[in-house]
Amino acid sequence: MKKFFILASLILLFTSCTSSNEPQVPQPAVATGTSQVTVRVNDFSMSMEEFATKSATSVAEYAGVKAITLAFYGYNDDEVYKFTQLRADDTTYETFGEFSCDLPIGTYTMVVLGYGSESPITLTSPTSASYTEDKVRDTFRKTQTVTVTGTTPLDLSVSLSRFVSKMEVISTDALSAGVSYLRFTFGAGGMSFNPSAGLATSDTGFSVDIQPNRPVGEPIWLGAYVFLTTDEQTMDITIQAFDAENNILFTKTVENVSFKRNRVTKLTGSVFTTSASSASFSVETDWLDPTNIDF
């Protein structure tokens, strides 16, 4: 059973810790013993106003975080500890967000990931992680070096930062009859990422299938996430509609769409009208002022 509770404090309290994200050489072999390490995942470092829980400041309040994975890696990125808490499964925690483990004396890279999926992220090292589902979800991270110098317990309080980019597609026309689902294809970026850098580790793009969230005859508003290979990235977005037999009803491509980490890009236009139209966009500088793409 894993313990966990939420604190409002952003202070990191522990015996010894460096600011580098790179693993350090462990302590000399003459130093022996273990120390209990408690990690509390508390505040977010960004506003949440674009999401349903507008005033959320912690993982306890923000239901968009459905799982948290904590891992410690030693010298040469050897995995020493890893555990995932699922919000919906209270057998994985006592209080969602608090972890407790014993670590031998040494220096470690700590990785904490919070994400909106009940299927655990595949985390293999401080520089390699990926979603195993068919889509990317809202994702937050924290990596830092933690040094255990003795048997005194360490108490770490962690703040997570969002690093994923979001696309929202808003139709100005009504959902057509016969459309079973929509496929959004990102022309670049990926579903795998480097937790330490917060950037995608692949740049081949991918597709996401989403069912319409409104009845026939009403406009739609759908969203999808992507990891970028740089802080800002431009790519083409392809929108396809399929019927229940997986036949393509139409395809539309919006060219040169601008994305930025921790920002929303909105595509607004006639999704279900197949006539071509030009696209224009502007990049804003705040999560509350998303990039708007008219097509």
User: Is there a contact between 136 and 224 (Cβ–Cβ < 8 Å)?
Assistant: yes
- Domain contains 73: yes
Are both 156 and 173 inside the same structural domain? Answer: no
- Domain contains 27: no
Tell me the pLDDT band of 31, cut-offs 50, 70 and 90. Answer: low
Are both 189 and 139 inside the same structural domain? Answer: no
pLDDT at 190: 97
Closest to 200 in 3D by CA, of 134, 130, 262, 140 = 130
- Domain contains 4: no
Q: What is the mean pLDDT of residues 37-55?
A: 49
| DSSP letters spanning 181-200 | EEEEEESS-BSEEETTTTEE
pLDDT at 3: 38
Are both 38 and 137 inside the same structural domain? Answer: yes
Residue-wise pLDDT for 240-274, tens only, equals 999 999 999 998 888 888 899 988 888 888 888 76
Contacts of 151 (CB under 8 A, 6+ apart): 33, 34, 35
Are both 288 and 204 inside the same structural domain? Answer: yes
Q: What is the CATH number of the domain that holds 261?
A: 2.60.40
Are both 56 and 153 inside the same structural domain? Answer: yes
- Domain contains 130: yes
Please state, as a whole number, how many other Cβ atoms lie within 10 Å of the Cβ of residue 187: 19
Tell me the pLDDT band of 17, cut-offs 50, 70 and 90. Answer: very low
Bridge pairing between strands 264-269 and 165-171: parallel
Q: What is the mean pLDDT of residues 42-70?
A: 62
Closest to 259 in 3D by CA, of 242, 236, 277 = 236
Residue-wise pLDDT for 91-124, tens only, equals 999 989 999 999 999 999 999 999 999 998 999 9
Instruction: Give the domain range for residue 132.
Output: 34-162
- Between the ranges 13-27, 45-59, 169-183, 187-201, where is the mean pLDDT highest? 187-201
- Domain contains 10: no
Are both 146 and 192 inside the same structural domain? Answer: no
Q: Which of 146, 162, 178 is the last residue of a domain?
A: 162
Q: What is the CATH number of the domain that holds 128?
A: 2.60.40.2100
Q: Calculate the average pLDDT of the chain.
A: 80
